[in-house]
Structure 1
Amino acid sequence: MAAPANGPAAGYPVDRLIFAPGDVDLARSPLAGHLMAETYVLGAFNPGLTRLPNGNLLMMVRVAEALREPVRNDHVHAIRWADGRYVLDPWPLEQADTADPRKFLLQGGGWKVMALTSLSWLLPVELAPDGLEVVAVHYDRAIAPQADLQCYGIEDARISRVSDRWLMTTCSVSPERHSTTLYSSENALDWRFEGIVLDHQNKDMLIFEGLIDGRYWAQTRPLGDLYFAYPPGSEWRAGPSINLATSPDALHWKPYERPGIRPRAGTAVSARIGGGAPPILTDEGWLTLWHGVERHEIVGIYRTYWSILDRDDPSRVLRGGEAPLLEANAGLTRPIEDLMYLRDVVFTTGIADAGDHYVVASGEADLACRITHIPKSVFAAG
């Protein structure tokens, strides 16, 4: 498995990579044997995290399986699931902008249209209780596309345990819609597909780990190309924000009237914000980890921040940290430097209670899985 980088990279007792592209056996991939083209693991990252009934931790790792040579014969190719198999779609190279290695933009339309050079599927990776050793990789329980609405892949799992049931939200990608889909489980290993729960381009849906007044709550993050301005001098900045929704059954969701966490004017994280790890209940309220993005080059700089939300009304932010909780760390990825294609990105996707600290799972550089032990004292009131 991935050789961990030793030492407190972010000032925490434990901060290391635990799973990387070289740890994935593509001979056991859902795509194996389908394509007449070589593939490789572009990234094994953005892991959902939960604790299993046996006490071990489970990461649901996003494996982005990409074409080794997406450009051939003056065409750039995308991988697509269709009727139980995987196929390649060729697009004329002169119609495509291939500046980003993860995708290409198709030119000439009235709006932004893109396709992917990789297809993502989800790989369950079981860890020791402290998250620092891989116990098993469950290829037999991998989650792959099974419907047209997932034909370009399944991305970025977030796992929440509510009572005696595990709920996992994912992004399902297709030309039909970029939707949020739900899986449920009684043991966090065997998952049942529940279908679409949020429609087009509503990403980073995080279900709270507990009910509030008998209802399920979730953070959402709808995207769009148009936002209305706040008044001059407002403390807020228009743009993508973390909204809230409630549900009687975790299947049917109603947006909450009051907003959640919004980008503040004059801050570095003004490009966009979005949910990270599912909110968990503490003595003070709901602890939520989220990402903020600073504009920089093509993708931006992703950092992790935190806030405490009111236990009865999560639209009320009680307090939070001004400084980043986590930042990308080049020291962690130095052993796999030859695989790097992005920098300055840490994307937190899971959290588990471990007594006096939290085990926090993140994607590092859209490449590998990072495990950090963060003392609970970090979140204590000053």
Structure 2
Amino acid sequence: MKKVFAKKDIFTRYSGNPIITVYDIPYSANAVFNAGAIKYKNEYLLLLRVEDRQGKSHLTVARSSDGKTNWKIEKSPLIYPQPTVFIYEEFGCEDPRITYIPEDDYYYITYTAYSRYGPAVALARTKNFKKVEKMGLIYPPNNKDAVLFPEKINGRYAMLHRPVAGDIEHIWIAYSSDLIHWGNHEVVLVEKGGPWWDGFKVGAGAVPIKTPEGWLIIYHGVKMMPSGPIYRLGAALLDLENPAKVKKRCPEWLLSPQEVYERIGDVNNVVFTCGAIVEDNQIYLYYGAADSCIALAFAKIDQILSILIEGDLQVK
């Protein structure tokens, strides 16, 4: 069988990048990046991570009719630190992912609650992105990069997350019957070590995309260089019935920092996704660039699947 590899990044950048910068935020802020994404009432909706000028982050809604331009950004955040009510987010609310569960008719938001005790995973839910109910911590520190699958698997909610143990940062999966109590933890994807592009650590990115071949996940991988880390995006395919099983893993990255807005910022050399919107066969990938702005890139699902299926098999 012929091996298929990418000769360049599979994702094509939108020509109008970056699509949102700090100058678009209608109040005082330092940076905007790492946005959750979903289609809501025929609009493209982003839940922006906005860092204020004290260094703390909160989450603000932005809307667009075409997903590219004319973003209407709310003047106040949807989710913000309330340390007198919830001490575990006293230092900020970060890196949201949005998952709609039709059976529940709720939009669930997983995000990093950051405090003096470290980063933990919190859950919230909303029906209209105007009012939100915080449901509290679901994973204690140190844990982040949590993303909920868009449907129950074998009758249970499923979630990817990334606990930290020393220098070990793998992607795990857990299951729940009530979204609060999580168990049956298994390792899904590990960093490969050595010179690999994802050799230092890995973490979940956008909400898993269901395809006939399996759950397509777009994850971030980090390589440590003498000048510091490089964050890139790759893909893997998980079994539909048992998503702890990796069917395929692309040996090459699909998007890497190349443009100036990805290379230079508060954190250099970063492309990091928290959200993607699928329309027909096309992925709208929204990603944070250099922890300073938000950019957009496109790819065909079929093209990613062909690389995963026809390329070298790399599992766990």
Structure 1's 186 and 142: CA in aligned 2 closer, same or farther, altered over 3 A?
A: closer
Aligned partner (choices 33, 37, 55) of residue 45 of structure 1: 33
In structure 2, what is the equivalent of residue 309 of structure 1?
Answer: 238
Q: Which has the higher contact order (CA 8 A, sep 6+)?
A: 2
Where 2:12 maps in the other structure, the secondary structure is coil
In structure 1, what is the equivalent of residue 156 of structure 2?
Answer: 215
Post-superposition shift, 1:17? 1.6
> Which residue identity lines up with residue 187 of structure 2 in the other structure?
P
In structure 2, what is the equivalent of residue 137 of structure 1?
Answer: 73
| CA distance, structure 1, for counterparts of residue 67 and residue 217 of structure 2 | 20
> Which residue identity lines up with residue 132 of structure 1 in the other structure?
K
Segments of 5+ residues of structure 2 without an aligned counterpart are 1-7, 311-316
Structure 1, residues 210-241: CA drift from partner, whole Å, max 9, x if none?
Answer: 11011100001001326xxxxxxxxxxxx210
Structure 1, residues 109-145: CA drift from partner, whole Å, max 9, x if none?
Answer: xxxxxxxxx01111111122x4112342122453211
Structure 1's 10 and 286: CA in aligned 2 closer, same or farther, altered over 3 A?
A: closer
> Which residue identity lines up with residue 285 of structure 1 in the other structure?
G
Residue 160 (structure 1) aligned with residue 89 (structure 2): no
| CA distance, structure 1, for counterparts of residue 172 and residue 18 of structure 2 | 31
Determine if contact 1:125/1:134 at 8 Å carries over to the other structure. no
Residue 12 (structure 1) aligned with residue 12 (structure 2): yes
Structure 1's 302 and 311: CA in aligned 2 closer, same or farther, altered over 3 A?
A: same
Where 1:260 maps in the other structure, the secondary structure is strand
Aligned partner (choices 167, 190, 193) of residue 262 of structure 1: 190
Structure 1's 378 and 190: CA in aligned 2 closer, same or farther, altered over 3 A?
A: farther
Determine if contact 2:11/2:297 at 8 Å carries over to the other structure. no
Post-superposition shift, 1:343? 2.0
Residue 274 (structure 1) aligned with residue 274 (structure 2): no
TM-score (norm 1): 0.72
Q: How many equivalent pairs are there?
A: 293
| Percentage of pairs with the same residue | 25
Determine if contact 2:160/2:173 at 8 Å carries over to the other structure. yes
Where 1:18 maps in the other structure, the secondary structure is coil
Structure 1, residues 40-64: CA drift from partner, whole Å, max 9, x if none?
Answer: 41x2000011110x11111111111
| CA distance, structure 2, for counterparts of residue 273 and residue 49 of structure 1 | 21
| CA distance, structure 1, for counterparts of residue 202 and residue 9 of structure 2 | 24
Residue 119 (structure 1) aligned with residue 56 (structure 2): yes
In structure 2, what is the equivalent of residue 284 of structure 1?
Answer: 213
Determine if contact 2:197/2:252 at 8 Å carries over to the other structure. no
Q: 1:288-299 residue pairs with structure 2 within 5 A?
A: 288-297=217-226, 299=228
| CA distance, structure 2, for counterparts of residue 10 and residue 214 of structure 1 | 35
> Which residue identity lines up with residue 79 of structure 2 in the other structure?
I
Segments of 5+ residues of structure 1 without an aligned counterpart are 1-7, 28-39, 68-117, 227-238
> Which residue identity lines up with residue 25 of structure 2 in the other structure?
V
| CA distance, structure 1, for counterparts of residue 101 and residue 56 of structure 2 | 30
| CA distance, structure 1, for counterparts of residue 70 and residue 158 of structure 2 | 32
Aligned partner (choices 100, 122, 136) of residue 181 of structure 1: 122
| CA distance, structure 1, for counterparts of residue 52 and residue 226 of structure 2 | 24
Post-superposition shift, 1:14? 3.2
Post-superposition shift, 1:291? 0.6
Aligned partner (choices 354, 362, 376) of residue 279 of structure 2: 354
- Superposed CA RMSD in Å reads 2.2
Where 2:88 maps in the other structure, the secondary structure is helix
Structure 1's 289 and 10: CA in aligned 2 closer, same or farther, altered over 3 A?
A: closer
In structure 1, what is the equivalent of residue 50 of structure 2?
Answer: 63
| CA distance, structure 1, for counterparts of residue 150 and residue 268 of structure 2 | 31
Determine if contact 1:277/1:288 at 8 Å carries over to the other structure. yes
TM-score (norm 2): 0.86
> Which residue identity lines up with residue 64 of structure 2 in the other structure?
L
Where 2:181 maps in the other structure, the secondary structure is coil
| CA distance, structure 2, for counterparts of residue 64 and residue 141 of structure 1 | 11
Structure 1's 20 and 365: CA in aligned 2 closer, same or farther, altered over 3 A?
A: same
Determine if contact 1:150/1:174 at 8 Å carries over to the other structure. yes
Q: 1:71-150 residue pairs with structure 2 within 5 A?
A: 118-128=55-65, 130-146=66-82, 147-150=86-89
In structure 2, what is the equivalent of residue 108 of structure 1?
Answer: none
In structure 2, what is the equivalent of residue 85 of structure 1?
Answer: none
Where 1:380 maps in the other structure, the secondary structure is helix
Post-superposition shift, 1:272? 0.8
